[in-house]
Amino acid sequence: MGLNIGKIFGDDETVDTSSNDRFYDVTPEDMLEENNGTSRMILLEPRAYSEANSIVNHLKERNTVVVNLKRVTGDQAKRIMDFLSGAIYAIGGKAEKIGGGIFLCTPNNVNVQGEITDDKDTKDVHDNTDLNIEW
């Protein structure tokens, strides 16, 4: 599908206005069928702001992404989350903080139930950062 802009500019040039973005052309059901009925959960630890685009690409493929920002500086983490927040808003998804510097990013086909609290002053909350479990 194209738009003929010749009437506006006096020539016969046609501009392609069709979207190449599969996110808007494919329903969640189509994506599940294409992925054999499954979606993936991707775990990422970006080391630079330049990796934010790949996180968004996973979300556009309707995969859930857990992002650990502990390997980037505070400024880079803020820039990454600003970028992700805009992309997540655009695709109708959600982002939730699940730990210090760790975020769960979901596309609009994933429903997250429950809530992780961040209240360390509450009784019966323990800091288990030294917990070392080997599988």
44: domain CATH number is 3.30.110.150
The strand pair at 102-106 and 2-4 is best described as unpaired
Closest Cα partner for 4 from 20, 17, 19? 17
**Is residue 131 one of the residues assigned to a domain?**
no
pLDDT tens-digit readout, 81-113: 999 999 999 999 999 999 889 999 999 999 988
**Is residue 91 one of the residues assigned to a domain?**
yes
Those residues of the chain that have pLDDT short of 70 are 1-37, 118-123, 125-128, 135
- Domain limits at 88? 27-106
Whole-model pTM? Answer: 0.66
Burial (Cβ within 10 Å: 0-12, 13-18, ≥19) of residue 107: buried
**Domains contained in the chain, number:** 1
